[in-house]
């Protein structure tokens, strides 16, 4: 693997100006209004070169209360807007994001560390979900049912839920917010966003873009609220009965804490948590096509996607041949400045992530695994941030403890199977997480077995594509310790609304259901 890095600080100075980013920013806003930010200061250092991009002042508890009160007031008006009119506002936001795609994509790349192409892809996801939500704004439909009683009509309708809390992770600092907000806004909800403290400047940029669109359209203050801060802000939100739905993306440990707090107050929690995703490489697979899916899935975003490919379950008869293809491909990876499009792999988010990566590799060795492609920290001139690591390949067995865990880093475990597809599926399902899965096979029966009852137990199951790169048209989420939440496409919009069943008697009598007689 070759390593290249240029210092990109000067490359994004114009981007920061374009997106309204200053040296010191308030991280608390109710729309066009920015509060002082009386909490702790969050310093955003780029993992690319370690440079300080800017600082964000986080919210105090009193500012949180003020922001939430504005959101509650804004909801009272926003919910009365016709859904297609709300959709028109979201359409304009999508257009504004198109104008800022290059700049916001660069900021995502520089603040988080993913490649510029992936940064652009993340902004494109924002644009796509806006387009999806615009059409959805005219299709928030309910069902009509036949009543057993004469001269009665029964139907269901959907109403706005209220204030939606959103907690996002560093690895997708803008897209996951938009998945929630676009659907929530057309549904008539207002949103309060706690971004990751590791990528606060992306939230400031998104709020500036959104506020401009909202101001042009007379959207009430409080429909889009951001409250930057640390763990305490998430705890305020989790325990706040004024927030009927809390969408949280992050680790399983974090999700369990959020789920317990929200459940105790009988609120709704939409959880998108860890993944330990596998690709089954059948002996009937196209190995060249499989290679592309496996390598991108394993090293994209430096292994910091919830859908990252962490396990390859390879049939014994093609194991050695495919391993050699992988080793050769890894030897061609370029590690370095993510804004340089010649590079494949950028940095991890911070040095703590590097420590976890090294700890996982040491644990794998201690448990008897064999290293097929050595990992390690990339050092030398230009890599002073200490956040660059080499993607590693580890030959392991399914029962190893480290294989059962999710390490947010580019470590790929190779596992063998020698029986039929049922053995491979059993290995794949034998982890606590259940987000994304894939099989590479040209055998129709194997593919259908993988997708059918008793097949993959994940929320996402793919055939002849990898585990990463979900489109917004399908509902995104997983099972087991992944949390069970669904965001983005399909009918995920129902999560952001409350269902109401209505029965209307338009006759002259009042018959009771189930034929009950109650004569006075």
Catalytic center residues: 272, 306
Whether the Cβ atoms of residue 465 and residue 293 lie closer than 8 Å to each other: yes
| Closest listed residue to residue 392, CA positions, set 318, 453, 439, 333 | 333
Whether the Cβ atoms of residue 8 and residue 347 lie closer than 8 Å to each other: no
Distance CA 64, CA 55 (A): 19
Whether the Cβ atoms of residue 318 and residue 285 lie closer than 8 Å to each other: yes
The separation between CA 139 and the C-alpha centre of its own chain, rounded to angstroms, equals: 25
Distance CA 440, CA 452 (A): 16
Token reading at 91 = 């359409």
The DSSP secondary-structure symbol of 511 reads: P
Distance CA 405, CA 400 (A): 9
Distance set, CA 259 to CA 256, 269, 314, 317, 485 (Å):
5, 6, 36, 44, 11
Token reading at 41 = 């200061």
Return the C-alpha torsion angle 416, 422, 427, 429, nearest 10. 150
56: left (phi over 0), alpha (psi -120 to 50) or beta: beta
- Residues paired with residue 439 on neighbouring β-strands, in sequence order: 280, 463
| Closest listed residue to residue 129, CA positions, set 498, 470, 477 | 470
The DSSP secondary-structure symbol of 389 reads: B
The separation between CA 455 and the C-alpha centre of its own chain, rounded to angstroms, equals: 24
Whether the Cβ atoms of residue 294 and residue 310 lie closer than 8 Å to each other: no
266: left (phi over 0), alpha (psi -120 to 50) or beta: left
Distance set, CA 372 to CA 298, 302, 414 (Å):
15, 18, 9
Return the C-alpha torsion angle 265, 266, 271, 274, nearest 10. 70
């Amino acid at each position: 693997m070759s390593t290249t890095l240029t210092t990109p600080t000067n490359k994004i100075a114009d981007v920061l100006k374009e997106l309204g980013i200053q040296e010191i920013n308030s991280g608390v806003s109710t729309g066009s209004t920015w509060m002082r930010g009386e909490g702790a200061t969050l310093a955003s250092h780029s993992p690319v070169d370690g440079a300080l991009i800017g600082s964000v002042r986080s919210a105090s508890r009193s500012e949180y209360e003020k922001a939430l009160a504005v959101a509650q007031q804004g909801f009272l008006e926003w919910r009365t807007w016709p859904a297609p009119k709300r959709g028109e506002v979201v359409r304009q936001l999508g257009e504004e994001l198109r104008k800022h795609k290059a700049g916001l994509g660069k900021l995502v790349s520089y603040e988080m560390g993913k490649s510029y192409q992936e940064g652009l892809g993340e902004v494109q996801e924002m644009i796509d979900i806006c387009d999806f939500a615009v059409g959805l704004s005219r299709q928030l439909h309910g069902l009509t049912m036949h009543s057993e009683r004469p001269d009665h009509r029964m139907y269901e309708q959907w109403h706005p839920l209220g204030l939606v809390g959103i907690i996002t992770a560093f690895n997708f600092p803008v897209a996951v917010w938009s998945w929630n907000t676009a659907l929530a806004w057309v549904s008539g909800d207002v949103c309060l966003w706690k971004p990751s403290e590791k990528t606060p400047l992306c939230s400031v940029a998104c709020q500036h873009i959104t506020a401009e669109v909202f101001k042009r359209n007379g959207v009430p203050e409080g429909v889009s609220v951001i409250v930057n801060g640390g763990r305490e802000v998430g705890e305020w939100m989790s325990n706040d009965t004024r927030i009927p739905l809390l969408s949280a993306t992050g680790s399983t440990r974090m999700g369990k804490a959020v789920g317990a707090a929200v459940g105790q107050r009988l609120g709704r929690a939409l959880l998108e948590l860890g993944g330990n995703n596998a690709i089954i490489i059948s002996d009937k697979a196209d190995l060249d096509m499989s290679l592309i899916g496996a390598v991108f899935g394993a090293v994209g975003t430096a292994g910091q996607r919830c859908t990252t490919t962490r396990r390859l379950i390879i049939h014994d008869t093609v194991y050695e041949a495919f391993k050699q293809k992988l080793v050769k491909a890894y030897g061609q990876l370029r590690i370095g400045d993510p804004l340089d499009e010649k590079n494949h792999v950028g940095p991890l988010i911070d040095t703590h992530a590097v420590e976890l990566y090294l700890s996982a590799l040491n644990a794998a060795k201690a448990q008897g695994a064999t290293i097929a492609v050595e990992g390690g920290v990339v050092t030398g001139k230009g890599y002073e941030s200490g956040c660059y690591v080499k993607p590693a390949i580890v030959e392991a067995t399914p029962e190893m403890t480290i294989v059962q865990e999710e390490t947010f880093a580019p470590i790929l475990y190779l596992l063998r199977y020698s029986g039929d597809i049922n053995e491979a599926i059993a290995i794949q399902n034998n982890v606590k997480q259940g987000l994304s899965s894939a099989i590479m096979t040209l055998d129709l029966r194997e593919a259908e077995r993988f997708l059918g009852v008793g097949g993959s137990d994940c929320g996402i199951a793919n055939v002849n594509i990898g585990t990463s790169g979900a489109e917004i048209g399908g509902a995104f989420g997983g099972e087991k310790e992944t949390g069970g939440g669904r965001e983005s496409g399909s009918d995920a919009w129902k999560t952001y609304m409350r269902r109401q069943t209505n029965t209307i008697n338009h006759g002259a009598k009042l018959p009771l259901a189930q034929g009950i007689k109650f004569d006075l």
